[in-house]
Chain A
Amino acid sequence: QQQVKQSPQSLIVQKGGISIINCAYENTAFDYFPWYQQFPGKGPALLIAIRPDVSEKKEGRFTISFNKSAKQFSLHIMDSQPGDSATYFCAASSAGGGADGLTFGKGTHLIIQP
């Protein structure tokens, strides 16, 4: 049972374009939705996160859009750069802060072409 579904599996975007990755969840108890970035051979690193009381959060070129009624959230990377090429994971947790760990999507391999 996959509780967080992520799409697409892979994505190629031209430099300067907008990269969009989507996630959908099933568990209505989830109350924290982070995105992680992972480079080859490294552990995931937190990129940006949102709670369901807001519909959008922006940090630099990265924006999370959140639709509570549809149980969907997405990551937008504006002005995508070759250095953004990585694997991106959405995740979700409940228990008011994720003390019981994160449920991850399967990941999106993003390639930014120069």
Chain B
Amino acid sequence: NAGVTQTPKFQVLKTGQSMTLQCAQDMNHEYMSWYRQDPGMGLRLIHYSVGAGITDQGEVPNGYNVSRSTTEDFPLRLLSAAPSQTSVYFCASSYVLAGTYEQYFGPGTRLTVT
């Protein structure tokens, strides 16, 4: 299994540009999430999905859109990039089994907005 994959690894955008960060998982996990990681801030939840066709907002959703048309894919769209969106973005997938819950994180996408 490849686990959770993210593309691209690095991206530089100009203010106002749009782009999509790709995330895919091959573990058949129901749940998927997007986080951003900023120095000294930990990881903050942007959006999450509890299954195909179902998404919801996390702690910092403004400026981002998501959709979940399949179990495997959960892309994150930046509609009009701003310097404040410079960050490292992590996608995660997870399952719940007998009270055990584990999130598997992808390797991250480092985004710079100039």
Contact = CB atoms under 8 A, between A and B. Distances in A.
Main secondary structure of the interface of B (DSSP, over half): strand
B56 A42 contact: no
Main secondary structure of the interface of A (DSSP, over half): loop
B105 A98 contact: no
Interface in B65-84: none
Contact of B33 (A34, A42, A97, A101): A101
Contact of A104 (B43, B102, B106, B108): B43
Q: How large is the interface on B (under 10, 10 to 19, 20 to 34, 35 or more residues)?
A: 20 to 34
Contacts of A9: 40
Given A104-B42, A104-B43, A107-B42, A97 B101 contact: yes
Interface residues of A, number: 26
Interface string A1-35: 00000100100000000000000000000001010
Contacts of A76: none
A66 to B, nearest CB: 15
